[in-house]
């Protein structure tokens, strides 16, 4: 990561290769055929001929790179959450019983994680009480995990 001082963007990016503009490879190849090697060379060329030949994308990408126009962020969407649950006909209150069923839920969770080839970094245990309220316990890990004993221990 490089932090560029205000007003120094042009100097910081002018020697970068064309491929960093994130335009299609065909456009990069065509620009190289025309003799362009760096972003600075391209930025110092009048826009009208480039737009006529390649469309508006080159100008848009240059404007994004130089901070003249904002670039929308395309967030990374996570897959659907993995959920395991258990309902009881009668309320349970004994700690041993709760721990037993938490352990079973963790086994189900880990089975699904293994099936998908994933690990868990954050997991929530949500308990719905008889009065209609919910109590949540969140456990997080430094790295993806799917060890039943370790994950069960996090909720004790």
Q: Is the pLDDT of residue 88 over 90?
A: no
Q: Across residues 106-129, what is the average pLDDT?
A: 92
pLDDT in tens, 125-155: 998 888 889 999 999 999 999 999 999 999 8
Q: Across residues 34-53, what is the average pLDDT?
A: 95
List of long-range contacts for 10-16, beta carbons under 8 Å, 24+ apart: 10/40, 10/43, 10/66, 13/39, 13/40, 13/65, 13/66, 14/38, 14/39, 14/40, 14/43, 15/39, 15/40, 16/40
DSSP-derived secondary structure for 27-41: HHHHHHHTT--BHHH
Q: What is the mean pLDDT of the chain?
A: 91
Q: What is the pLDDT of residue 96?
A: 92
Q: Is the pLDDT of residue 78 over 90?
A: no
Q: How confident is the model at residue 100 (pLDDT cuts 50, 70, 90)?
A: very high
Q: What angle do CA 23, 56, 46 make, to 5 degrees?
A: 100
Q: What is the pLDDT of residue 4?
A: 86
Q: What is the pLDDT of residue 76?
A: 74
- Which domains, and CATH codes, for the chain? 9-65 (1.10.150.20), 95-154 (3.30.1490.100)
Tell me the Ramachandran region of residue 41: left when phi exceeds 0, alpha when psi lies from -120 to 50, beta otherwise: alpha
Q: What is the pLDDT of residue 28?
A: 96
Positive or negative: CA dihedral 45, 32, 16, 26: positive
Listed in sequence order, the residues at least 6 apart from 46 whose beta carbon sits closer than 8 Å to its beta carbon are none
Please tell me the pTM assigned to this model.
0.51
């Amino acid at each position: 990561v490089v932090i560029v001082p205000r007003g120094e963007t042009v100097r910081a990016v002018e020697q970068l290769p064309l491929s960093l503009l994130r335009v299609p490879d065909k456009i990069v190849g065509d620009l190289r055929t025309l003799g362009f090697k760096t972003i600075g060379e391209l930025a110092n060329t009048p826009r009208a001929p480039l737009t006529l030949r390649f469309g508006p994308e080159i100008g848009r990408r240059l404007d994004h790179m130089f901070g003249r126009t904002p670039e929308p962020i395309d967030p990374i969407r996570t897959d659907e959450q993995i959920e395991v649950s258990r309902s009881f006909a009668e309320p349970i209150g004994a700690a041993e019983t709760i721990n037993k069923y938490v352990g079973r839920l963790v086994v189900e969770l880990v089975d699904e994680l293994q099936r998908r080839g994933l690990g868990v970094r954050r997991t929530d245990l949500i308990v719905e009480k008889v009065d209609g309220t919910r109590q949540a316990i969140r456990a997080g890990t430094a790295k993806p995990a799917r060890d039943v004993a370790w994950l069960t221990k996090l909720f004790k």
